[in-house]
Structure 1
Amino acid sequence: MTSIPESDQVNNYNSFAEIYNTENESSLENAYYERPATLRLAGDVAGRKILDAGCGAGPLSKELRDRGALVSGFDKSAGMLEIARKRLGDDVDLRVHDLAEPLPYADGEFDDVIASLSLHYLKDWGPTLAELRRVLRPGGRLIASVNHPTADYCIQRMSGHRPNYFEVYRDVGEFEMGGTTIQLAFWNRPLHKMTDDFTAAGFRIARISEPQPDEAGRELFPDVFYLLETAPSFLFFVLEAE
């Protein structure tokens, strides 16, 4: 991954929504690592009102709904939400909305907010976390997963670069999905910056998790499963609204 200027083709999920959805449904990192880990942290969600912040094509929303949660979701990409509506039906409140903007929900509306691999698209977490805190009831939870702060740093070091771990910096990577090359950009930040932002927004850190991948993925991905066994790609937080 390397830092490059902004481009209309970076994070343009509308242009590759179907390809990304297909990859997300069955990939090792999503289907057998991030999504199962998030669901385990959420626990028993029956009857809980949950906001899926950055819901994409809706695979996590569907899992939560199947477990009895009352789910709402939003995403910046209209193309991804079109797939989500086909997956979830018209009875689920899904909205096109940017995570970086004030949220169109009432104060204390939700028991839980889940931000699954969405916060790392933002340079400044402060305003967004304040909004996520606002729409949570007192004692509600924010369950968040983000790129692990050491993952990109190690990749950069192995490729001959030496980024400053303590800085917030943007990286753009090219990924092959379904025979198509797509560009995704993320903002990387050190662990202490994440935890400082969480507490400044009024959250108590209840848990930090570096989970193992789901064992069911071992047989399906025998050549790469060990990579997630020995080094985490994502970092998970359970945060309680104070």
Structure 2
Amino acid sequence: MHKESVSHQSYEEMAEYYFRDIDNKPYNAHYERPATLSLLPGVEGKSVVDAGCAAGWYTEQLLRMGAKVTAVDFSSRMIEMTRRRVGGKARLVQADLNEPLAFLADASQDVVLSSLALHYLKDWTSVLSEFYRALKPGGVLVFSVHHPFMDFTHFQKENYFLTELLDDEWNTPDGKVKVQFYRRPLYQIIAAIHRAGFVLEELLEPMPADAFRQQAPLAYDKLTRTPQFLFIRARKPQL
């Protein structure tokens, strides 16, 4: 995500909101996070990259699981929130996922986790190549993104097969915030994974957890009929 983008400024503004409120939102707490965690391998003693760490929820969970974590985000404010959450227990790096991740040595990581971050990047060629380079043989990539069907229908687009920039506006307790992200068809997501050299292991379109229904029954009902996010686990082949 380029530092001059609308989304960069928006996430700088939303850093406190993410730190303070996002953990209790049902789409995060009872939908995205359970599904993403279900795809993770065991991480105790492993080196893990939290790519697009936001306010550090996954960084904290990975540390609790015994992982050695490098947390990366393009937003200095998000890095600040992650530091507030985990102190010096993780390596924190402010970096743009569009650029080479030179701070990650070749074949140095066991897992790369990226939660709801890759849809902010137009071209996945560089970032997936960098993830592949940094992972050890047999290493795992786990990520979540907006579901192509959801973006296509919600924004009433005319051509599903395009990759295009979308403008959205989010309501937060601190006011409305404009964000931008890219939607792309499913085949482009899968093709990008294969072009980078990964083997696709699992693809999830999960149901929300029961706790979601108690917190937001109408949204829960919608998620049982239409997906919101897409979840993927891929592996770098063994030598």
Q: TM-score, normalised by structure 2?
A: 0.93
Report what 2:62 is aligned to: 64
- Of the three residues 197, 200, 205, the one matched with 1:205 is 200
**In 1, Cα distance between the equivalents of 2:89 and 2:233?**
28
State yes or no: 1:193 paired with 2:175: no
| Structure 1 residues not aligned, in runs of 5+ | 1-6
Other structure's SS at 2:210 match:
coil
| Structure 2 residues not aligned, in runs of 5+ | none
Deviation at 1:86, TM superposition (A): 0.9
Deviation at 1:223, TM superposition (A): 3.2
Report what 1:153 is aligned to: 152
Deviation at 1:16, TM superposition (A): 2.1
**Does the CA-based 8 Å contact 1:11-1:183 persist in structure 2?**
no
Other structure's SS at 2:54 match:
coil
1:156–1:9: structure 2 CA closer, same or farther, 3 Å change rule? closer
Deviation at 1:216, TM superposition (A): 1.8
**Does the CA-based 8 Å contact 2:17-2:174 persist in structure 1?**
no
Deviation at 1:8, TM superposition (A): 5.5
Deviation at 1:9, TM superposition (A): 4.2
Deviation at 1:29, TM superposition (A): 0.9
Report what 2:50 is aligned to: 52
Report what 1:14 is aligned to: 12
Matched to 1:81, the amino acid is I
Deviation at 1:71, TM superposition (A): 1.4
**In 2, Cα distance between the equivalents of 1:220 and 1:193?**
34
**Following superposition of structure 1 onto structure 2, how do residues 1-242 of structure 1 map, counting pairs within 5 Å?**
9-12=6-9, 13-103=11-101, 104-157=103-156, 162-242=157-237
**In 1, Cα distance between the equivalents of 2:183 and 2:6?**
20
Matched to 2:99, the amino acid is E
**Does the CA-based 8 Å contact 2:201-2:235 persist in structure 1?**
yes
State the identity %: 38
How many pairs are equivalent? 232
**In 1, Cα distance between the equivalents of 2:43 and 2:104?**
20
Deviation at 1:151, TM superposition (A): 0.3
Report what 1:3 is aligned to: none
**In 1, Cα distance between the equivalents of 2:210 and 2:43?**
23
Other structure's SS at 2:160 match:
coil
Deviations 1:209-229 (CA, angstroms, capped at 9, x unpaired): 111112222212223221222
- Cα RMSD of the aligned pairs, angstroms, is 1.4
Other structure's SS at 1:18 match:
helix
Other structure's SS at 1:72 match:
strand
Deviation at 1:208, TM superposition (A): 0.7
Deviations 1:166-188 (CA, angstroms, capped at 9, x unpaired): 01001010010114101111111
Which consecutive aligned stretches of 4+ in structure 1 deviate over 6 angstroms post-superposition?
none
Matched to 1:66, the amino acid is R
Other structure's SS at 1:223 match:
helix
Matched to 2:57, the amino acid is P
Matched to 1:143, the amino acid is V
Matched to 1:132, the amino acid is F
